[in-house]
């Protein structure tokens, strides 16, 4: 089973593009706080996320930099060749669900 559930804040507005098949997809980075067990300190992990179709349209319309959201999805490896010719490997979340994790301040 490959299931990831993360809560954090967007570091920037989602970047929305259209695939060669004409389908929208959105990429964003989620800043997720991780507590260090022994000393109670916190560190932040920056998790790359990508979502497709209707979820991409939702991301474009409703979530912005600083939004606190909950994402549900699956982890997936990716790779590409960098400018220096070296292979770059990474891990991203393929987002299947997005929910707001806090209400707007009135």
Q: What 8-state DSSP symbol labels residue 37?
A: T
Least confident range from 8-17, 36-45, 74-83: namely 36-45
Are the beta carbons of 47 and 30 closer than 8 angstroms?
yes
pTM, to two decimals? 0.85
CATH number, domain with residue 61: 2.40.50.140
Domain count, the chain: 1
Beta bridge partners of 77: 91
Q: How confident is the model at residue 61 (pLDDT cuts 50, 70, 90)?
A: very high
The HSE-up count of residue 32 (CA atoms within 13 Å, CB side) is: 17
Length reported for the chain: 106
For residue 92, being part of any structural domain is answered with: yes
Average pLDDT over residues 77-90: 92
What distance in Å separates the CA atoms of residue 80 and residue 36, rounded to the nearest whole number?
32
Name which of 35, 34, 29 is nearest 15 in CA terms: 29
For residue 105, being part of any structural domain is answered with: no
């Amino acid at each position: 089973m490959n299931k990831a559930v993360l809560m954090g804040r967007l570091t920037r507005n989602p970047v929305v593009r259209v695939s060669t098949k004409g389908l929208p997809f959105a990429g964003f980075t989620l800043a997720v706080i991780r507590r260090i067990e022994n000393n109670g300190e916190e560190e932040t992990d920056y998790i790359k996320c990508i979502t497709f179709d209707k979820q991409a349209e939702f991301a474009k319309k409703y979530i912005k930099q600083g939004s606190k959201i909950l994402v549900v999805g699956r982890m997936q490896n990716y790779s590409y060749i960098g400018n220096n010719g070296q292979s770059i490997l990474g891990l991203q979340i393929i987002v299947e669900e997005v929910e707001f994790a806090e209400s707007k301040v009135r």
